[in-house]
Amino acid sequence: MNKQHKVFVTGAAGFIGTKLVQLLLREGFSVRGLYHRKPPDWSNFGDINRRSEIEGSHDRLQFVQGDITSLESLRQAMEGCRYAFHLAGFAKNWARDFSIFTKINVDGMRNVFQVAKDQNYERIVWTSSIVTFGPTEPGTMADEASPRITEQYFTEYEKTKTVAEKEALQWATDGLPLVIVNPTRVFGPGPHTDGNALAGLIHDYISGKLFVMFNFGMNTGNYVFVDDVAQGHYLAMLKGRIGERYILGSENASLRQFYTYVEEVSGIRRRGLPIFIPGAMMIARLFVLWAKLAGGYPRISPGWVKTFATDWCHSSDKAKTELGYDPIPLKEAVRRTYEWLKEKNTQNPE
């Protein structure tokens, strides 16, 4: 990468995107970040030192408003850049109109790739998801070469990201200088959005709120700290092979183990409410029914329950070997998130 060339970032106001922008600026790059509705509020992200660094770097940071579903909007926003990170996506667990998943995750990706091709971009890193690999059989671990064990999709997000990834691989085959990264369950300092739901779980735990152990917390997932995912994106831009996928994860652990780490770093011991899958599905359906009738947003959905009731055990060895990716252990990620939450609660008591 030539630091004299500007880097274009979609989803720059998002959870991972904000961290990536911070990293690129620290590395000396000029960044043009695309946001859809409003520019990011830096007070919600990271620590004070990083915010100060961002706030003092506006000569190399430009935010432009745009829409990835509009080719004309993208042509204007992407003009003059040579590298692109496409992170923007619709990662909700439910939507009143499911067509928005395809519109953003598939059509929006296609638009970014088309403009990058037309404007002769040198390298593009696209953010896919671990969900495209599908769940794993109990006791097994999958990697980039492992086939999906089921054609069933639990959520519309999983379905559309899988469709998009198949198309992305074809774009790379046809000559687009594209590298794909597949983050696992990302969490860390930042807003409690769908993309950072685990930080919300930690917050609820230390706040004394009732927490639920789906399937008694026995199912395995792969967890990763948000700063490591941002670093993995950057390394993929520098070292990733065109047309390859790289899983960006850290540690495989059960939800029960995740809460054990929360207990250990916080010194707070709480008992979760164990619930079998049928009960969780009934609650999720009620949440969705309420959302449809009252116009709200369900905290959980049936697809979300099914996702957390299966195993998602994956390896990041390829990224470690080829990119030099080196994520921190899960317990340390939990500790850093807890310390940030504790400091934030002290500064802004409810």
Q: What phi-psi label fits residue 23: left (phi over 0), alpha (psi between -120 and 50 degrees) or beta?
A: alpha
Which neighbouring-strand residues pair with 181? 127, 246
H/E stretch holding 295 reads none
The residue written with tokens 């949440």 in the block is: 287
Q: Which residues pair with 183 in a beta bridge?
A: 248
Catalytic residues, by residue number, are 161
For 45, 92, 93, 152, 194, the CA distances from 96, given in Å and listed in that order, are 29, 11, 11, 21, 16
Task: Give the type of residue at 7.
Answer: V
Containing H/E element for 335?
helix 330-347
Q: How far apart are the first and last CA of the chain?
A: 45
Orientation of helix 255-266 relative to helix 330-347, angle to 10°:
50
Beta strands in the chain (DSSP E): 6-10, 31-35, 61-65, 81-86, 123-127, 178-183, 185-187, 212-214, 220-225, 245-248, 251-254, 273-275
Q: Provide the H-helix boundaries in 174-294.
A: 197-206, 226-239, 255-266, 277-294
Q: What angle, rounded to 10 degrees, do the helices at 15-26 and 226-239 form?
A: 60
Q: How far apart are CA 85 and CA 1, in angstroms?
A: 13
Contact at 8 Å (CB) between 298 and 291?
yes
In terms of DSSP bridges, do strands 251-254 and 220-225 run parallel, antiparallel, or are they unpaired?
antiparallel
